């Protein structure tokens, strides 16, 4: 299966050739390492059970897939954590892979904000993402990364109903110091809150010290990995966005082209299997984790009830992003076309 077919048909996965232009260009730097030893950058702290752990599982699977087609005695993929992990790490020659949420890349390519996570009712669910990729989204995504020397291999959904974790029940965001990111931070500001940009590893200490009032986290497994249920007792479902956004695996285009066709096919099959396993695991474990947290820590899960105001501000924030440049308008058109097809 080639990359173009994969991006269209695979379960929440993406790969295609690089074409097109972006709002701001960046020149890719040459890789500083041999293909037998690769680096995967992940914008998450080291943890057990969270995003970084997922990245390690993927790295081990990719090692096996590549080893089958390598003349080297060993293929090793080192996973590097940290907030600086993004497509820029690949462009600068510091990494060969990126794996994580698209929030990490939207500062480099603003149009990726449409898939990183839209606010309110405009947020993309898993089916919306598939529809977007089956339309013009795959080509737009690929062309947006091309000037960085990066090719997307996988695009998947992070999950449903991101939660707002806090010490007390939240009925209004006004005046609250809230750790969030991307367009959701603009919505928080528009609703009278005070958005705070924090590294994932700083969220729990900041909540414990009373430096912030609440923190939005995309998935339950990430919240557990960060230790939030041990610190705060309330989790509001989808107060700022109805769904989480996309995450991706991207790779240096130069390194990708050094792989033989059988090695490329092996990588795509490996990624597809990992994506399906992750989605199944997350879907099956959500209610189990919620019940376990309620029993162990007394965590209260509840619905947030200010959707009308969130909706109004979300539409304004989205329109502002769409008007930023030609590329953001193209992403907006493709995104909204997919969103309107929602059943």
Residue 328 lies in a domain: no
Report d(CA 213, CA 235) in Å as an integer: 12
Does residue 101 share a domain with residue 51?
Answer: yes
Is a pLDDT exceeding 90 seen at residue 6?
no
Does residue 102 share a domain with residue 91?
Answer: yes
Does residue 227 share a domain with residue 175?
Answer: yes
Q: pLDDT: is 12 or 313 the higher one?
A: 313
Report d(CA 11, CA 6) in Å as an integer: 9
Residue 87 lies in a domain: yes
DSSP string of 93-114?
TS-SEEEEETHHHHTTSGGGHH
Is a pLDDT exceeding 90 seen at residue 66?
yes
Residue 327 lies in a domain: no
Does residue 151 share a domain with residue 191?
Answer: no
Is a pLDDT exceeding 70 seen at residue 268?
yes
What CATH number has the domain bearing residue 119? Answer: 3.40.190.170
pLDDT in tens, 158-187: 887 899 999 999 999 999 999 999 999 999
Query: Of 263, 286, 309, which residue is a domain's last?
Result: 286
* pLDDT at residue 26, as a whole number: 42
Does residue 80 share a domain with residue 196?
Answer: no
Does residue 272 share a domain with residue 124?
Answer: yes
Residue 326 lies in a domain: no
* pLDDT at residue 13, as a whole number: 39
pLDDT in tens, 287-319: 899 999 999 999 999 998 777 889 999 999 999
Q: Give the mean pLDDT of 231-242.
A: 95
* pLDDT at residue 284, as a whole number: 83
* pLDDT at residue 100, as a whole number: 95
Work out the burial of residue 188: count CB atoms within 10 Å of its CB; fewer than 13 is exposed, 13-18 middle, 19 or more buried. Answer: buried
* pLDDT at residue 4, as a whole number: 55
Residue 197, beta-bridge partner list = none
Is a pLDDT exceeding 50 seen at residue 25?
no
Residue 8 lies in a domain: yes
Q: pLDDT: is 343 or 242 the higher one?
A: 242
Does residue 114 share a domain with residue 216?
Answer: no
Is a pLDDT exceeding 70 seen at residue 274?
yes
Segments forming the whole domain that contains residue 298: 163-242+287-321
Q: How confident is the model at residue 2 (pLDDT cuts 50, 70, 90)?
A: low
Does residue 222 share a domain with residue 95?
Answer: no
Residue 329 lies in a domain: no
- Residue 129 contacts by C-beta under 8 Å, 6 or more apart in sequence? 12, 115, 155, 156, 157, 246, 338
Does residue 144 share a domain with residue 60?
Answer: yes
Two tokens, residue 183:
């367009």
Does residue 258 share a domain with residue 170?
Answer: no
Q: In the predicted model, what is the mean pLDDT of the chain?
A: 88
Of the chain, the percentage scoring pLDDT greater than 70 comes to 90
Residue 330 lies in a domain: no
Two tokens, residue 60:
């081990």
Does residue 110 share a domain with residue 20?
Answer: yes
* pLDDT at residue 11, as a whole number: 39
pTM of the shown model: 0.87
Helix (H) or strand (E) holding 9: helix 3-9
* pLDDT at residue 3, as a whole number: 59
What CATH number has the domain bearing residue 200? Answer: 3.40.190.10
Does residue 93 share a domain with residue 51?
Answer: yes
């Amino acid at each position: 299966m080639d990359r173009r077919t994969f991006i269209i048909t695979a379960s929440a996965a993406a790969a295609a050739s690089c074409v097109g232009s972006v709002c701001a260009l960046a020149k890719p730097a040459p890789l500083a390492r041999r293909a037998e030893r690769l680096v995967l950058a992940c914008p998450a702290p080291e943890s057990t059970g969270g995003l970084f752990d997922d990245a390690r599982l993927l790295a081990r699977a990719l090692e096996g897939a590549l080893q089958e087609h390598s003349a080297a005695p060993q293929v090793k993929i080192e996973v590097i954590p940290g907030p600086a992990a993004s497509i820029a790490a690949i462009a600068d020659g510091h990494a060969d892979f990126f794996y994580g949420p698209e929030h990490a890349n939207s500062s480099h390519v603003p149009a990726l904000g449409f898939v990183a996570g839209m606010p309110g009712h405009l947020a993309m669910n898993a089916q919306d993402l598939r529809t977007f990729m089956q339309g013009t989204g795959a080509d737009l995504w690929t062309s947006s990364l091309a000037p960085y020397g990066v090719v997307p291999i996988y695009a998947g959904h992070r999950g449903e109903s991101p939660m707002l974790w806090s010490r007390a029940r939240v009925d209004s965001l006004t005046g609250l110091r809230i750790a969030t990111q991307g367009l959701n931070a603009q919505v928080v500001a528009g609703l009278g809150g005070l958005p705070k940009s924090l590294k994932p590893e700083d969220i729990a200490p900041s909540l414990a010290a009373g430096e912030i009032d609440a923190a939005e986290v995309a998935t339950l497994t990430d919240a557990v990995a960060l230790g939030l249920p041990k610190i705060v007792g309330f989790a509001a479902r989808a107060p700022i966005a109805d769904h989480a956004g996309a995450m991706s695996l991207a790779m240096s285009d130069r390194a990708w082209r050094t792989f033989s066709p059988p090695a490329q096919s092996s990588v795509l099959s490996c990624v597809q299997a990992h994506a399906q396993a992750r989605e199944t695991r997350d879907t099956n474990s959500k209610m189990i984790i919620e019940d376990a947290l309620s029993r162990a820590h007394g965590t209260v899960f509840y619905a947030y009830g200010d959707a009308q105001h969130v909706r109004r501000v979300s539409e304004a924030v989205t329109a502002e992003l769409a008007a930023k440049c030609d590329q953001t308008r193209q992403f907006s058109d493709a995104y909204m076309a997919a969103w309107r097809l929602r059943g």
